[in-house]
Structure 1
Amino acid sequence: MHCLFYLGRACILPLIAPSSGSTLLGISSIFTMYEGVLYSVGLPMALIALLREETHDQLLKASHTDYLTGLGNRRWFFEEAERHIHNTRADADIFLLAFDLDHFKAINDRFGHAAGDEVLKLFAGFARGIVGPDTILARIGGEEFAALVSCKSDADASAVAQAVVSGFAEIVIDRSKGLGIKATVSIGLAQLSRDGNDLAELLLAADAALYRAKVSGRNRIEPAQPSAEGLGNVLPARTRKYRATLP
């Protein structure tokens, strides 16, 4: 607007000033003065507003991001998953994959926490590559991750989970002095509507399935079962943890 004002003044005023006399020049000078004052005040305010908005966006993104893996954090997962489930059609197939890295404490104890961090970052990048860039994937605990995926069928969801299990088991993380770290992951799989009607129920069903995968030998997938509610006495600590942290 500032440029257009001066462009119009430079092009139009010389054409009409000779016939209008000094009165038009005086009015034009007053408008030019006020416009210059408004511009000198408005521009810094606009720049400050833009800077504040950019800073706010950066802080908001940081509050929703896991610093180590770059994935969304627990808070972000709950917010996005709740919104996604709420906006999903009743006939859509939505699945929750609950991931837990096997024997992660042993990896930390044997190779050190720096190596454990590498395993977490590697899994985050690998899982993101399998589930796709638009899938809601987050690190929700120390070595625990969760993904909310849309698939055409239960077989497709199982195929995605199997790709994560099989592919990650084949990765060897090279360390100095010739050491190599191999890690595996267990997955619990639950489907919206079939295993739970909201995020809380879906998380509990997937976590119960994940528990069965861990006690059945790890490095495997376990689907949720209709009797998952009955495992509440078997999984008191894990179920209370999820229930306590749900929004």
Structure 2
Amino acid sequence: MPELTRMTWREVRAAAPSAIAVLPIGSQEQHAGHLPMGTDTMLAEAVVDGALTRLGGDPEVVRLPALPFGHSPHHLFAAAVSLSAATLQAVLADVLDSLVRSGFRRVFVVNGHGGNDEIMRLAVKQYALQADVALAACSYWSLGEAASPGHAGLFETSLMLAAKPDLVREPAPRPDVTPPPLFDRPPYPGLTVERHGEWARVGGSTDDATAATAERGTDLLDRRVAALAAAIRAFHNATAATGEHAHTEGEA
């Protein structure tokens, strides 16, 4: 697949008017005692790369290097490299602006960290008001057959056993705490609830990871890859005129 990092500037300029730039974003933060800090970034990359391989070059895509830092202040109780919400939004705006100035008219952002989701979507909505572009954004778990990923639990641990098994340590059972945390089980549907100190109190995970398996992870990964590939293709079909319009203008 074409990767921005390996392309010359002339190759980028030639591809940009018709291609979709795909940007994975993740984080560096604690994932309990058994998963690496870069889990969110690596899983976003795994889903993106699987989807682009599945698409086989149709539509034309340029894969950007992953943005490895995200908004993770809630994980600083253990360890994280965190950007403020304002900084992450500004970084995404600058990246989008750079891509547009380089000739791209379609960008697809794929997120791997829950703390980035709202910021990413706002950045995309705001930038589309400023430039003649078509933008899309998603968290990889939110497409199609949506699943709640949790954090450092069964979902992410299974995915990492499939994608990066050499980086997974033996998970410990998640401790039962009283009262139970609110952030992943709000007392009423639709509420977002946060209570001070809860991430540290539960050991940094939302659910127990001891039942995670590579087989479960392979199935989850395959479904996420298929959903993202379908989403990229649908975005292409809905926005192809944007790229064609930019190409025509560039030739004039």
Please give the TM-score of this superposition, normalised by the length of structure 1: 0.25
Which of structures 1 and 2 has the bigger CA Rg? 1
Specify which structure has the higher proportion of strand: 1
**Higher RCO, 1 vs 2 (CA within 8 Å, ≥6 residues apart):** 2
Please give the TM-score of this superposition, normalised by the length of structure 2: 0.24
Specify which structure has the higher proportion of helix: 1
